[in-house]
């Protein structure tokens, strides 16, 4: 939520911002923050799977969505009741994205729902896709000092289950590659994407980048110019960056920036 708010702040008075997360409670926290700091006018938030999300930004007004309100309709409340009873805490009961917030200048007011939730094709994304995408990927968080400190409370056995578990890490690599691949699909030609994690492992960072590049000839790594004055070092692949406690006096962070050719 903090990153999305920062982006909304940087956006200023043009364009729009789209947030996607599979966890509704995380997006709800983000919505609260956007509203608290009055930064949500140009934003929209979708509960959806980022590996398949395919809704493009909107540029035109066509029809009939009303201004967003925090009050939910009876129909919506019944739908979430049913989903809760079915025991799905995270993913919506259907794979259709759920729009949980949109600001008055997000470009959605006046549109028909059908039009807003319309999935796009790869070709359409190349011309009318996003200018910039941030894939702040799910990871083991092993580089986050704050996160690791929490295991003092949760117990070190939980660390074993959540961070060191080989099977979970294997699934995560698949998820990370899926999020990066789909995020890239949504970019317009010439647009740029940042992939980041707070893991220190090569598997979740350089290896994911390498695998992605080998399958996407239209993707090229970009040098992050302002990094010349940042307290970080190069990652294992040229143009990627790593922050860590020893080099940067920060938690661990990996960053790679791509352009779509």
Ligand X SMILES: C[S@@+](CC[C@H](N)C(=O)[O-])C[C@H]1O[C@@H](n2cnc3c(N)ncnc32)[C@H](O)[C@@H]1O
* Residue with tokens 């917030």, as numbered in its chain: 101
CB 21, min distance to ligand X, A:
5
CA distance 209 to 69: 40
Nearer to ligand X, 23 or 164 (CB): 23
- Backbone φ and ψ for 5, nearest 5 degrees, come out as -65, -40
CB 53, min distance to ligand X, A:
7
State whether residue 51 is helix, strand or coil: coil
Strands (E) in the chain, as ranges, are: 17-21, 43-47, 98-102, 130-136, 187-197, 219-221, 233-234, 241-243, 253-260
Nearer to ligand X, 136 or 206 (CB): 136
CB 115, min distance to ligand X, A:
23
Residue 232 known to be catalytic: no
Strands (E) in 60-108, as ranges, are: 98-102
CA distance 167 to 8: 36
* Residue with tokens 């609260």, as numbered in its chain: 32
CA distance 209 to 216: 10
Catalytic residue among 5, 30, 139, 198: 198
Q: Which residues bind ligand X (CB under 6 A)?
A: 1, 3, 20-23, 26, 49-51, 136, 138, 175
Ranked by CB distance to ligand X, the top (closest) residue is 50
Nearer to ligand X, 111 or 172 (CB): 172
User: Both tokens of residue 209?
Assistant: 């980048």
Q: Which long-range contacts (CB under 8 A, 24 or more apart) does 90-93 make?
A: 90/22, 90/23, 90/24, 91/22, 91/49, 92/24, 92/47, 92/48
CB 217, min distance to ligand X, A:
25
Nearer to ligand X, 20 or 111 (CB): 20
Consult the annotation and say whether 49 binds a ligand: yes
List residues forming the annotated binding site for S-adenosyl-L-methionine: 21, 49, 136
* Residues identified as active-site: 198
List residues forming the annotated binding site: 21, 49, 136
């Amino acid at each position: 939520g903090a990153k999305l708010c920062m982006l909304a702040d940087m956006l200023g008075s043009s364009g729009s911002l789209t947030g996607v997360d599979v966890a509704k409670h995380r997006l709800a926290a983000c919505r609260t923050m956007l509203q608290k700091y009055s930064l949500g006018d140009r934003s929209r938030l979708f509960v959806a799977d980022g590996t398949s999300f395919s809704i493009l930004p909107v540029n035109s007004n066509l029809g009939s969505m009303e201004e967003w309100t925090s009050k939910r309709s009876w129909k919506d409340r019944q739908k979430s009741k049913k989903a809760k009873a079915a025991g799905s805490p995270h993913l919506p009961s259907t794979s259709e994205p759920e729009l949980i917030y949109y600001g008055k200048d997000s470009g959605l007011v006046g549109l028909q729902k059908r039009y807003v939730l319309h999935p796009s094709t790869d070709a359409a994304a190349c011309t009318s896709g996003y200018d910039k995408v941030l894939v702040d990927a799910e990871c083991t968080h092993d580089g986050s000092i704050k996160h690791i400190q929490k295991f003092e409370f949760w117990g070190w056995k939980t660390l074993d289950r959540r961070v060191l578990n080989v099977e979970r890490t294997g699934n995560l690599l698949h998820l990370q590659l899926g999020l990066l691949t789909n995020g890239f699909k949504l970019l317009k030609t010439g647009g740029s994407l940042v992939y980041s994690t707070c893991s220190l492992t090569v598997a979740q960072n350089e290896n994911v980048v390498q695998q992605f590049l080998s399958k996407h000839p239209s993707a090229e790594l970009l040098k992050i110019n302002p990094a010349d004055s940042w307290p970080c070092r190069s990652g294992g692949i040229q143009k990627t960056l790593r922050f860590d406690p020893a080099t940067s006096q920060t938690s661990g962070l990996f960053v790679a920036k791509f352009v779509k050719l």
